Structure 1
């Protein structure tokens, strides 16, 4: 039916038949070629670059707000670059953003309530500890008062026993002491008084040494004094002779002055 020159025409006919058979439209063709588009490749490169900068993984099971921000920005780019689906995708994204925003608010409220509960629990715990410590302090104060009272009674009892024992010892000494013991006691007292007046041997030797040194120093000073006195006398004689010579010279000068006048 068709010759060899009409191959391109045959291909066009088959393409039209397939299009009708599978209901392929221009939009579906564009959608199939979406990932082959340069713009899509540019967006994919942007995603990879941002994830590498933040050291994030695509297949991480745990959610991350930083990764969500990257994909949210990419969704805005897709809506701008592909206006055919941009409006619908933008509306879908807005709904997701609203839900995420509400979840963030709820999460912040939950965190705030958790912190408030923890503070209340801590305050309650501190209140219970304070109550326990106060009660314990009162118990210790009562025990201390009891111990002080008991200590006073024991001190009073001990003083009584000590006074009684001292009286007993005095009585025993009076009964046992005779004239010999009293004489010995007097002798002991005299020896104690004498001991108080006596100078220890070591101190005596030191004092004697100091006294001897002082005497030697005094003797040397006396000798030096005599020498100074002799020197002073000699100097006095010299001064007297000089005064006499000066007077003689003065009288001669006065005589000569009178003669020359």
Structure 2
């Protein structure tokens, strides 16, 4: 392995399960969908170093995807984390060797760098377009979040005003109810408070008494008159036999 991963493990991924004939195609896919690649190499598995840490999270979404001949799925994980259970061992950060092996490794590294530069040039327009679309989507998402926060603030303020208004209305209603109850209790204990009603009640009573007295007088007079008439009839009856 010709890549120096010291200080770069947090933005380096390992890819296991990708067929060797499709390494370059997978690197091209990562460069298109995840972002710029600083370098890549092949040891026991494919190693990719991204220029940005944000690209790593996107690259991890390809784990479990069938790629190449579709006979097996690839496994992707970050270099500074333990390998998944289905991976035998982690790749060493650096490799030893000297002499001819080092020269061959350098030549392979230079060839990959040239090929990576070619891939970057070929995908420059696509990468730039994806970056612009991502920036637009990020801006829209941030704008939506700001509007949502503002809406939450306005809603909470309006809700607080409604609660205060409801509380005031409830207090006013309770006070009015207490006042009505007091008036009802006072009216039932002291009788009618209207003087006109009392006057209208007393007038018929006196009138009834006078009428009763007048009726008694008329009854006495009528009784006296009847008695006089009876006496006269009796007197006449007694006088008739004498004349006969």
RCO higher in structure (CA 8 A, sep ≥6)? 2
Between Structure 1 and Structure 2, the one with more strand by share is: 2
Please identify the structure whose Cα radius of gyration is greater. Answer: 1
Between Structure 1 and Structure 2, the one with more helix by share is: 1
Same fold (TM over 0.5): no
Q: TM-score, normalised by structure 1?
A: 0.31
